Amino acid sequence: MNDHSIIVMGVSGCGKSLIGQQLAQKLGLPFFDADDFHSDANVSKMASGVPLTDADRADWLASLAQLLRTRAPLVLACSALRQRYRDELRRADPALVFVHLDGEIDTIWARLSQRRDHYFSGRDMLESQFAQLERPGLGEAFRIDIDRPAEAVLAACLDAIGRGIA
């Protein structure tokens, strides 16, 4: 399985970075966080509580696609909220594996409200992400329920990837 890149996806606060880092470590792959590829303008916009548009995300997605073409295999924490974003990333790497960390808005908001020093701002932003989320279809991603401790989420990810059944 270490020969495929993996995107750990979901709304902000679902645990993409934490689980992605741990997954990368377990699989011996480099880890990247898609948040690090946002422009300063995008970060400022999100910090102000303004959701990004598709136009805002265009260069960001192009950078992530380039990363997948040049640095694979890897693990990438990336929201990948819309089907067309996942399609664009999959064009860069057709063998890409998606792991969708999925949970209820109240569970995720409780986690986000505890965060400090992160640009993501406010419940309205989280609600906007839930509104934009186009859940992956059957066979497109491994769906992992996040309403459990991080160790259990990681174990479920490793099990799903190991079995290869989305």
- pLDDT digits 0-9 by tens, 62-88: 999 999 999 989 999 999 999 999 999
Instruction: Identify the CA nearest to 101 among candidates 75, 126, 77.
Output: 77
Share of the chain above pLDDT 90, in %: 61
Query: 125 and 49 in contact (C-beta within 8 Å)?
Result: yes
Q: How far is CA 10 from CA 3, 46, 71, 121, in A?
A: 23, 17, 22, 16
Give the pLDDT confidence of 7-23 residue by residue, as tens digits. 999 998 899 999 999 99
Question: pLDDT-based confidence at 126, cuts 50/70/90?
Answer: confident
- Phi and psi at 40, nearest 5°, equal -60, -35
| Mean pLDDT for the stretch of residues 119-128 | 69
Domains delineated in the chain: 6-163 (3.40.50.300)
- pLDDT at residue 86 in the model: 96
**Residue 121 reports pLDDT greater than 60:** no
**Residue 140 reports pLDDT greater than 80:** yes
Sign, CA dihedral 29-59-134-94, equals negative
Mean pLDDT over the full length of the chain:
89
- pLDDT at residue 37 in the model: 94
Pairing verdict, β 75-77 and 6-9: parallel
pTM of the model: 0.89
**Residue 3 reports pLDDT greater than 60:** yes
**Residue 47 reports pLDDT greater than 80:** no
| Mean pLDDT for the stretch of residues 135-164 | 93
